[in-house]
Structure 1
Amino acid sequence: MNNQLPLGLNVAGRTALSATLALALAACGGGGGSTTPPPTGGTPTPPPVATCAISNQIAFANDVLNEWYLFPDLLDNSVSAAGFTNVQSYLDARVAPARAQSRDKGFTFATSIAEENALINSGSSAGFGIRLAFDSFNNRVFLFETFENAPGFQAGMDRGTELTAIGTTAANLQSVSSLMAAGGPQAVVDALGPSDPGVTRVIRFVPVGGAVIEASVTKTDFSLDPISDRYGALIINDGGRNVGYLNLRTFIVADASNQLRDAFQLFNSNNVSELIIDFRYNGGGLVDVSEVFGDLLGEGRVGQVWSRTVLRSSKSSENTTRLFRNEVNSLRATKVAFISTGNTASASELVINSMLPYLNADSVALVGGNTSGKPVGQFGFDFDACDLRIRAVTFQTVNANDEGEYFTGLASVVPNTCRADDNIFFPLGDANEDSVATALDFLAGLSCTAIAGGADQTAQSVGGRQTLQPEQPSAAQREIPGLF
Structure 2
Amino acid sequence: MFKNNTLSLAIISALSVFALTGCGGGGGSNTTPAPVTPPTSSTPTWTAGVFEPSDELKNFCENPRTGNDPFNNNEPYPDQAGSALYEKLWLRSWSDETYLWYDEIADNDPESFDTVADYFAQLKTEELTDSGAKKDNFHFSEPSEDYFQEAQSGVTSGYGINWAFIGDSADRILRVAYLEDDSPASQIGFQRGDTVLEVDGVSINTNTQAGIDTLNEGLFSPTNGDSHTIVVRSNDGTEKTFNVTAGNIEQTPVQNVKTIVTSNNTRVGYMQFNSHIGIAQEGLIDAVNKFRTDNVDELVIDFRYNGGGLLALSAQLAYMVAGSANVQNRFYYQTQQNDKQPVDSPFPFIDEEIDYSTFFSTGDKLPDLNLSKVYVLSTSGTCSASEAFINGLKGIDAEVVLIGDTTCGKPYGFTPTHNCGTTYYTIQFSGVNSKGFGEYAAGFTPTPTPQFNADVQGCVVSDDFDNQLGDSNERLLSTALFHIDNNGECPITTSVANSKVDVPSFATTSKKLQPLNAPNDLTRGNMDLTWPTLSKEQ
**TM-score of the two chains, using structure 1 as the length reference:** 0.81
- Corresponding residue for residue 344 of structure 1: 382
Q: Is 1:437 aligned to 2:428, yes or no?
A: no
The CA distance in 2 between the partners of 1:287 and 1:43, in whole Å, is 26
Shift of 1:324: 4.7
Query: How do 1:53-452 residues align onto structure 2 when only pairs under 5 Å count?
Result: 53-77=83-107, 79-98=108-127, 104-135=135-166, 139-167=172-200, 173-177=201-205, 179=206, 188-192=215-219, 194-209=221-236, 211-228=238-255, 231=256, 233-239=257-263, 240-251=265-276, 253-299=277-323, 300=325, 301=327, 303-325=329-351, 327-359=365-397, 363-383=399-419, 386-411=420-445, 412=452, 413-444=454-485, 445-448=487-490
Shift of 1:90: 2.4
The CA distance in 2 between the partners of 1:9 and 1:200, in whole Å, is 32
Shift of 1:94: 2.6
Count of equivalent residues: 441
Q: Which amino acid aligns with 2:395?
A: P
The CA distance in 1 between the partners of 2:14 and 2:312, in whole Å, is 11
Q: How big is each residue's C-alpha offset from its partner over 1:61-101, in whole Å with a ceiling of 9 and x where there is no partner?
A: 11111000112233223x33233233443233231324666
The CA distance in 2 between the partners of 1:100 and 1:88, in whole Å, is 25
Shift of 1:479: 4.3
1:457–1:309 distance in 2 versus 1, CA, 3 Å? farther
* Secondary structure in structure 2 of the residue aligned to 1:214: strand
- Corresponding residue for residue 170 of structure 1: none
The CA distance in 1 between the partners of 2:231 and 2:268, in whole Å, is 38
The CA distance in 1 between the partners of 2:18 and 2:421, in whole Å, is 18
| Structure 1: segments with no counterpart, 5+ residues | 11-16, 18-25, 168-172, 463-467
For the 8 Å contact 1:244–1:275, the answer to whether it is kept is yes
Q: How big is each residue's C-alpha offset from its partner over 1:120-160, in whole Å with a ceiling of 9 and x where there is no partner?
A: 11111111111223455665421111112221112210101
Shift of 1:216: 1.9
The CA distance in 2 between the partners of 1:72 and 1:4, in whole Å, is 20
Q: Which amino acid aligns with 2:274?
A: R
Q: Which amino acid aligns with 1:310?
A: Q
Q: Which amino acid aligns with 1:234?
A: K
* Secondary structure in structure 1 of the residue aligned to 2:376: strand
1:191–1:211 distance in 2 versus 1, CA, 3 Å? same
Q: How big is each residue's C-alpha offset from its partner over 1:357-382, in whole Å with a ceiling of 9 and x where there is no partner?
A: 3345xx43211000010011011222
The CA distance in 2 between the partners of 1:476 and 1:217, in whole Å, is 26
- Corresponding residue for residue 14 of structure 1: none
The worse-fitting range, judged by mean Cα deviation, of 135-144 and 196-205 is: 135-144
For the 8 Å contact 1:104–1:393, the answer to whether it is kept is no
For the 8 Å contact 2:482–2:491, the answer to whether it is kept is no
Q: Is 1:5 aligned to 2:10, yes or no?
A: yes
The CA distance in 2 between the partners of 1:365 and 1:183, in whole Å, is 46
Whose helix proportion is higher, 1 or 2?
1
- Corresponding residue for residue 20 of structure 2: 29
- Corresponding residue for residue 77 of structure 2: none
* Secondary structure in structure 1 of the residue aligned to 2:415: strand
1:206–1:475 distance in 2 versus 1, CA, 3 Å? closer
| Structure 2: segments with no counterpart, 5+ residues | 31-52, 64-82, 353-364, 446-451, 504-508, 514-522, 531-538
Identity, % of aligned pairs? 22
- Corresponding residue for residue 21 of structure 1: none
If asked which structure has higher relative contact order (CA below 8 Å, sep 6+), I would say 2
Shift of 1:469: 6.0
Give the aligned CA root-mean-square deviation in angstroms. 3.5
For the 8 Å contact 2:13–2:384, the answer to whether it is kept is yes
